[in-house]
């Protein structure tokens, strides 16, 4: 097997080979690092790298497998951790010149669990400044690009995670999601990304207390998402919002024949690119072929549904940006300054309006889900925007040749409404490619706290389409 083939093994396949002694963690790590070094200058998916340490840890994992010792669920696997969570003694930049090279003395709960399970952090994945954009570029690290077509963004804010998975420079990756930051890059890069229900996975304070905020896995297969989710999931004594008891997802699922699936192409809110529409409809046909009933529904939402989410983000998350801008405006990106400016205008009445809007959204979504097993819509209204999008302030968004009236940052992302409906599990999976070669994706949304339902549907879909990245024809040309 060539080094490139090793780089595109799923994590589950790599673990099976480790156990059967058909592959060494050192061989995999060497291949992944070589791949990362090859693509870094072109794509910039990583900020800090820890290659020497990763190779040393891979040797220790190799020894465990060789002697038949007990191994962790992720033993020997390379994993990219988003450059916004903590690993004690290692730098974290948050994608900003203001906080670049911050050295924490604690390790985030998710990272503790990954390390305990034997995952090896070979690199930190790039993020926009303070993870506050749907693209990934910053003054600290430059522009992160899409492996399928470097003219386009890999999405954000977990853009480095999505890009590294698609490029074969990691086996697993972590993301966080407050307005779509896991699902946006999952769709734009053609990988799997999971936003769990609020509280399912732990997060760092103070944003663990924001119901819009989630952490979750990003992978190249649904089985790998289950693998990583089962490691990081569970209550934490440091996170009051974390749910008890721990939910362990099944790894084997029954067919979805007889399921009722609802869908909307535009959520009655977004202008949607024609190629995205076509790929979404083709994905819905796959679900029909699996014996599910698929029907379009009207949620009776409108542009106000997106505005609901933006009001919430401005008031809480944006306030953090405004605080930073008071002292450090010259060091900050255009999109962070725009966010700060919006936050300064936000009032308690606006935040109350966001809560009222969230209730109004669920008044139609909740009853609809009582008669359907899952809901499907596109992840993004565009395959992706250009890599440098939002480098200037107040940039306009165009879809289907029309200037959008929606917010430029999230007006092309159909993800934020499901941060508003934060207790619903959402899994983004690839649905195809545009003529630009940039992937497209669909969101599979479940009833509140019904995590297994979205994975059952996704496994069925993935199996029906034959998976992703299975050969050179289904990988970026790098």
Greatest CA separation for the chain: 63
Q: What percent of the chain has a predicted confidence (pLDDT) above 70?
A: 100
Residue 282 Cα distances to 112, 235, 465, angstroms? 40, 39, 11
Report the pLDDT value the prediction gives residue 380, as an integer from 0 to 100: 98
Q: How confident is the model at residue 474 (pLDDT cuts 50, 70, 90)?
A: very high
Mean pLDDT of 428-442: 98
Residue-wise pLDDT for 182-223, tens only, equals: 999 999 999 999 999 999 999 999 999 999 999 999 999 999
Report the pLDDT value the prediction gives residue 362, as an integer from 0 to 100: 98
Give the span between the Cα atoms of 195 and 319, in whole angstroms: 23
Taking residue 131's Cβ as centre, other Cβ atoms within 10 Å add up to: 26
Residue-wise pLDDT for 313-344, tens only, equals: 999 999 999 999 999 999 999 999 999 999 99
Instruction: Kindly give, in sequence order, each residue whose CB lies less than 8 Å from that of residue 308, ignoring residues fewer than 6 positions away.
Output: 353, 354, 357, 358, 360, 361, 417, 420
**3-474: CATH superfamily:** Amidase signature (AS) domain (3.90.1300.10)
Report the pLDDT value the prediction gives residue 296, as an integer from 0 to 100: 98
Report the pLDDT value the prediction gives residue 375, as an integer from 0 to 100: 99
Taking residue 471's Cβ as centre, other Cβ atoms within 10 Å add up to: 8
Please give the distance of CA 476 from its chain centroid, rounded to a whole number: 19
Residue-wise pLDDT for 409-433, tens only, equals: 999 999 999 999 999 999 999 999 9
Report the pLDDT value the prediction gives residue 394, as an integer from 0 to 100: 79
Report the pLDDT value the prediction gives residue 208, as an integer from 0 to 100: 97
How is the chain split into domains, by residue range? 3-474
Q: What percent of the chain has a predicted confidence (pLDDT) above 90?
A: 99
Instruction: Kindly give, in sequence order, each residue whose CB lies less than 8 Å from that of residue 89, ignoring residues fewer than 6 positions away.
Output: 103, 104, 105
393 pLDDT exceeds 90?
no
Instruction: Kindly give, in sequence order, each residue whose CB lies less than 8 Å from that of residue 366, ignoring residues fewer than 6 positions away.
Output: none
Residue-wise pLDDT for 364-392, tens only, equals: 999 999 999 999 999 999 999 999 999 99
Give the span between the Cα atoms of 6 and 224, in whole angstroms: 15
102 pLDDT exceeds 90?
yes
Residue-wise pLDDT for 264-314, tens only, equals: 999 999 999 999 999 999 999 999 999 999 999 999 999 999 999 999 999
Active site residues: 82, 157, 181
Read off φ and ψ for residue 283, nearest 5 degrees.
Answer: -65, -40
Q: How confident is the model at residue 101 (pLDDT cuts 50, 70, 90)?
A: confident
pTM surpassing 0.85?
Answer: yes
Residue-wise pLDDT for 41-98, tens only, equals: 999 999 999 999 999 999 999 999 999 999 999 999 999 999 999 999 999 999 999 9
Q: 344-352 long-range CB contacts below 8 Å, 24 or more apart? A: 345/314, 346/311, 346/314, 346/315, 346/318, 346/319, 347/315, 348/315, 350/311, 350/314, 350/315, 351/311, 351/312, 351/315, 351/316
Please give the distance of CA 178 from its chain centroid, rounded to a whole number: 10
Average of per-residue pLDDT values in the chain: 97
Give the span between the Cα atoms of 317 and 252, in whole angstroms: 38
Instruction: Answer yes or no: are the C-beta atoms of 394 and 235 closer than 8 Å.
Output: no
Report the pLDDT value the prediction gives residue 126, as an integer from 0 to 100: 98
Mean pLDDT of 427-447: 98
């Amino acid at each position: 097997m060539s080094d490139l083939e090793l780089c595109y093994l799923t994590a589950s396949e790599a673990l099976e080979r480790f156990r059967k002694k058909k592959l060494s963690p050192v061989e995999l790590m060497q291949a992944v690092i070589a791949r990362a070094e090859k693509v870094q200058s072109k794509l910039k998916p990583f900020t800090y790298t820890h290659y020497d340490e990763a190779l040393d840890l891979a040797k220790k994992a190799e020894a465990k497998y060789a002697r038949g010792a007990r191994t962790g669920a992720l033993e020997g696997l390379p994993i990219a951790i988003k450059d916004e969570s903590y690993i004690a003694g290692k730098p974290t930049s948050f994608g900003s010149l203001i906080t670049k090279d911050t050295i924490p003395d604690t390790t985030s709960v998710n990272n503790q669990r990954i390390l305990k399970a034997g995952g090896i952090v070979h690199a930190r994945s790039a993020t926009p400044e303070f993870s506050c954009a749907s693209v990934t570029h910053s003054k600290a690290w430059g522009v992160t690009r899409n492996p399928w077509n470097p003219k386009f963004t890999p999405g954000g804010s977990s853009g480095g995670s999505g890009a590294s998975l698609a490029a074969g420079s990691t086996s697993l990756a972590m993301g966080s999601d407050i307005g779509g930051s896991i699902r946006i890059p999952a769709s734009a890069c053609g990988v799997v990304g999971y936003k769990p229900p609020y509280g399912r996975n732990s997060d760092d304070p103070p944003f663990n207390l924001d119901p819009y905020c989630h952490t979750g896995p990003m992978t190249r297969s649904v089985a790998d998402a289950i693998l990583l989710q089962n490691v990081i999931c569970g209550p934490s004594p440091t996170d009051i919002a974390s749910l008890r008891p721990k939910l362990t997802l099944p790894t084997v699922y029954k067919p979805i024949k007889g399921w009722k699936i609802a869908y909307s192409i535009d959520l009655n809110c977004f202008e949607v690119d024609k190629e995205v529409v076509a790929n979404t409809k083709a994905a819905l046909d796959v679900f029909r072929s699996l014996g599910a009933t698929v029907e379009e529904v009207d949620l009776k939402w409108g542009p106000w549904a997106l505005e609901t989410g933006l009001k919430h983000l401005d008031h809480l998350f944006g306030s953090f940006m405004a605080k930073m801008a008071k002292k450090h405006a010259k060091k900050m990106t255009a999109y962070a300054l725009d966010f700060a400016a919006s936050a300064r205008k936000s009032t308690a009445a606006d935040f109350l309006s966001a809560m009222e809007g969230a209730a109004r959204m669920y008044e139609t979504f909740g009853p609809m889900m009582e008669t359907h097993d899952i809901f499907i819509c596109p992840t993004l209204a565009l395959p992706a925007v250009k890599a440098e999008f939002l480098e200037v302030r107040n940039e306009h968004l165009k879809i289907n040749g029309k200037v959008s009236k929606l917010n430029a940052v999230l007006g092309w992302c159909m993800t934020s409404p499901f941060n508003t409906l934060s207790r619903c599990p959402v899994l983004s999976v690839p649905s195809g490619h545009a003529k630009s070669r940039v992937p497209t994706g669909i969101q599979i949304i479940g009833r509140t706290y019904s995590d297994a339902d979205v994975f059952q549907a996704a496994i069925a879909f993935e199996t029906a389409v034959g998976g992703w990245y299975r050969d050179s024809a289904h990988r970026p040309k790098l």
